Amino acid sequence: MNHDLDLPPPFERPEQMETAISRLRYLIIAVLIAMIAGYAVLGVVVWQIIGRIDQLATKTNGIDATLGVKFGETNTKLATTNAKLDTISGRIAAEFKTMETEMTTQIGAITKSVAMPPPAPVQTKPAPVPKPAPPPPPRHRP
C-alpha cells in the first residue's frame, strides 16, 4: 500500500493544535453572539410593529364609534325624509287623478257644446292631370 497520499501535514506540535481549536471556539462564539443580537433586534422590531398595530386598532375603533353615531343620525334623517316623500308622492297621485277627472268632464262639456261639422269626404280618386298641348305642326316651305 502506498502511504504517500496528499494529505495535509499533521500538526507537528500540540501547541498548534490548541491554537487552532481556540480560534475555532472564538469563531463559533462570535457567530452565536451575532445570531443572538440579530434575534434581539428582530424581537424589538416585532414589538414595535405590534405596538403600532394596537395604536391603529384603537384609532379605527374610535373612528367606527364616531361614524356609527353619525350614520345613525343620518339614517334617522333619511327615514324621516323618505316618509315625507312618500306622503308627497301619494298627494301628487291623488291630485293627478282629480285633474284627470276634471279635464275629462270639461272636455266632454266642450265637445257637447260645440257642434262640429262632419268631416269632409276624403277623395279616393286622384285629380285628373291636364295633358300637355300637342306640338304645332311643322311648316312647309313654298
DSSP 4: -
Q: For residue 135, which amino acid is it? A: P
Give pLDDT tens digits for 57-84.
888 877 766 666 677 778 888 889 999 9
Contact yes or no for 33/27 (Cβ under 8 A): no
Give pLDDT tens digits along the chain (142 positions).
455 566 666 656 777 888 888 999 999 999 999 999 999 999 999 999 999 998 888 888 777 666 666 777 788 888 899 999 989 998 999 999 999 999 999 888 888 777 666 667 776 776 777 777 777 777 776 6
CA distance 40 to 36: 6
Q: pTM for the complete prediction?
A: 0.35
